[in-house]
Structure 1
Amino acid sequence: MIHGRVQGVWYRGWTVATARELGLVGWVRNRMDGRVEALVQGEGAAIDRFLALAQDGPPAAQVVGIDMQDALVEDLHAFEQRATA
């Protein structure tokens, strides 16, 4: 979960582009409470790089924090943007 000013600033689009560039699979979506939620799967070094970049996100974003937790592996083949939950 990404907290801060992360909706309406192209954070989801940035996430998709960045994750794909790093060879990651997963998804990203807005949450009704103003956060952005993402599931990221791939090699550890690529995930670490993604998380470092996600601390800033796109230029208009103001990330306050990222809550991370392990999740069950899903059978995913790409990185996509999903509907708001």
Structure 2
Amino acid sequence: MKAARFVVRGKVQGVFFRASAREQAKALALTGHARNLLDGSVEVVVYGEAAAIDRLEVWLHDGPDSAEVNELYREDLGTHDAPTEFVTK
């Protein structure tokens, strides 16, 4: 499976960003996690098909309606064994 790590900056904590990212990822058959970082950003790590990861990236540029995304960083992690579910931490 392909893997990618995203860091989303802006107004992304306290606006259901992680839960919304989980729902989007699950709809795209991606697994991984979303967690708040100490600097106020959100990290999203996903595993799955490359096209599905690309579609999630498009969604992450905006996030849920209550979020304000100012910056999105992507790091491709290559091919990895995937976890069996998507969790929020």
The TM-score normalised by the length of structure 1 is 0.90
Q: Does 1:79 align with 2:86?
A: yes
Amino acid paired to 1:53: W
Count of residue pairs brought into register by the alignment: 82
Amino acid paired to 1:49: R
Deviates more, 1:63-72 or 1:30-39: 63-72
The TM-score normalised by the length of structure 2 is 0.86
Give the structure 2 partner of residue 2 of structure 1: 8
Pick aligned residue for 2:64 from 58, 61, 64:
58
8 Å CA contact retained: 2:32, 2:82: no
Moved over 4 A (4+): none
Q: Aligned partners of 2:38, 2:81: CA distance in 1, in Å?
A: 23
Structure with greater strand share of residues = 2
Between the two proteins, what is the percent identity of the paired residues? 38
8 Å CA contact retained: 2:13, 2:36: yes
Amino acid paired to 1:21: A
Assess, with a 3 A threshold, how the Cα gap between structure 1 residues 75 and 22 changes in structure 2: closer, same or farther: closer
| Structure 2 residue runs without a partner (length 5+) | 1-6
Q: Does 1:12 align with 2:18?
A: yes
Deviates more, 1:25-34 or 1:65-74: 65-74
Q: Aligned partners of 1:74, 1:65: CA distance in 2, in Å?
A: 28
